[in-house]
A and B are shown apart, each in its own frame.
Chain A
Amino acid sequence: MAVDKFPIEAGHIMMFARSIGDANPIYYDEDYAKGTEPGGVVAPPTFVQASAQFDPDYFLRPKIGQEWFGSAKGPTGITPKEGGGSGGGSGGGLHAEQHYVYHKPLVAGDTLTATVKPGKSWEKEGRRGGKLMFSESVTEYRDLTGDLVVTATSVGVRTERPATS
């Protein structure tokens, strides 16, 4: 996802670490973190995924004043289009793969930018969900000096019908 300004905030790192069940004090205790090799509070390896919070257009976050496809009075909040389909849907495919390359530690207090390049796309015949359509995107996260911090490659898959394992 493209983001102009992704502040790496200590409170966000603490909450993110809690949500993945990681009690390592390097994610919340500055005094402890000072004595470690990175020398400060760092972000967990998958933290850049949370840059979605700073993408104003991220489609998997409800927007003020707009319909949301999750349930409300009915099982989906999307008003069916006239003569159109049933509304709702699976919300745009599933995440098939995620790859990170780490160039330097991601430290609380940093600010990153994220730029996205499209990658390959391909199709495969699935066992349970019909045809599978894969597409890749590559996100480069850089700090304010322009140094590459993390390269993230994401592969998404769309299925013709829900694929359960």
Chain B
Amino acid sequence: MPLKLSDLSVGDVYSEEVCNNLSRTQIVQYAGTSGDYNPLHSDEIFTTQVAGYPSVFAHGMLSMGMTGRMLTNYVGDGRLTAYGVRFTAQVFPGATLTASATIDAIREENGEHFIDLSVSTQDSEGVEVIKGQASARVDA
């Protein structure tokens, strides 16, 4: 359901757990659908022995996609006008992530109403893995 202007205030926060104990299989699933088969995300032998990382890790775009689910659940389908993130830390198998959106501004443009959100996704230790912003159209 789209959001309604009269129900919204600057500072409102919406959050959702977007993954719990992230599996290597889900990372493989994302490789298959996105088409990004970089072995850093699925090939433990290559990643530890050649690339020098402690383990395979999730595509940044998987974390962005999971965080996007929180956004569309909050603002409604087809309402996002912008969504951008920085990948601030790697996400390893076993991660449990919580994504949240905070209303920074409510504005009007050409008779339509929009909210600007800051977006943050953190792991269970409070490490921020995604930091971003989004905007969405809301109902008057």
Q: Chain A: interface residue count, which band? A: 35 or more
Q: Tell me whether B81 and A101 are in contact (CB under 8 A).
A: yes
Cβ-based interface call for A7 (8 A):
no
Q: A19-B30, A97-B86 are in contact. Are A105 and B68 (CB under 8 A)?
A: no
Cβ-based interface call for A5 (8 A):
no
Could you mark each residue 5-47 of chain A with 1 if its beta carbon is under 8 Å from any beta carbon of chain B, else 0?
Answer: 0000000100110111110101000000000111000101110
Total of A-B residue pairs, C-beta within 8 Å: 164
Cβ-based interface call for B9 (8 A):
no
**Segment at the interface with B among A56-64, A109-117, A139-147:** A56-64
Cβ-based interface call for A71 (8 A):
yes
CB distance from B24 to the nearest CB of A (A): 13
Q: Which residue from chain A places its CB closest to the CB of B78 in the assembled complex?
A: A38
Q: Which residue from chain A places its CB closest to the CB of B89 in the assembled complex?
A: A165
A57 to B51: give the CA distance in the assembly, Å.
23
Q: Which residue from chain A places its CB closest to the CB of B45 in the assembled complex?
A: A71
Cβ-based interface call for B35 (8 A):
yes
Q: Tell me whether A46 and B68 are in contact (CB under 8 A).
A: yes
Q: A75-B49, A95-B61 are in contact. Are A12 and B33 (CB under 8 A)?
A: yes
CB distance from A37 to the nearest CB of B (A): 6
CB distance from A32 to the nearest CB of B (A): 11
Q: Tell me whether B35 and A44 are in contact (CB under 8 A).
A: no
A9 to B87: give the CA distance in the assembly, Å.
28
Q: Tell me whether B35 and A50 are in contact (CB under 8 A).
A: yes
Q: Tell me whether B64 and A19 are in contact (CB under 8 A).
A: no
List A contacts of B14 (CB < 8 A).
Answer: none
List B contacts of A49 (CB < 8 A).
Answer: 34, 36, 61, 65
Number of interface residues of B (CB under 8 A): 53
Could you mark each residue 84-106 of chain A with 1 if its beta carbon is under 8 Å from any beta carbon of chain B, else 0?
Answer: 00111111001111111110010
Q: Which residue from chain A places its CB closest to the CB of B85 in the assembled complex?
A: A98
Q: A91-B38, A164-B90 are in contact. Are A24 and B61 (CB under 8 A)?
A: no
Cβ-based interface call for A76 (8 A):
yes
Cβ-based interface call for A118 (8 A):
no
Q: Tell me whether A45 and B68 are in contact (CB under 8 A).
A: yes
List A contacts of B36 (CB < 8 A).
Answer: 49, 52, 60-61
List B contacts of A76 (CB < 8 A).
Answer: 46, 50
Q: Tell me whether B35 and A98 are in contact (CB under 8 A).
A: no
Q: Which residue from chain B places its CB closest to the CB of A91 in the assembled complex?
A: B38
A-B contact pairs, 11 of them (CB 8 A): A24-B69, A37-B76, A42-B78, A44-B68, A46-B61, A50-B35, A53-B35, A69-B46, A89-B50, A91-B39, A91-B40
Known: A36-B78, A50-B33, A102-B82. 4 other contacts (CB 8 A): A45-B71, A60-B37, A95-B61, A99-B85
Residues of B within 8 A of A (CB): 2, 18-19, 26, 29-30, 32-40, 42-43, 45-46, 49-54, 59-62, 64-66, 68-69, 71-73, 76-90, 127
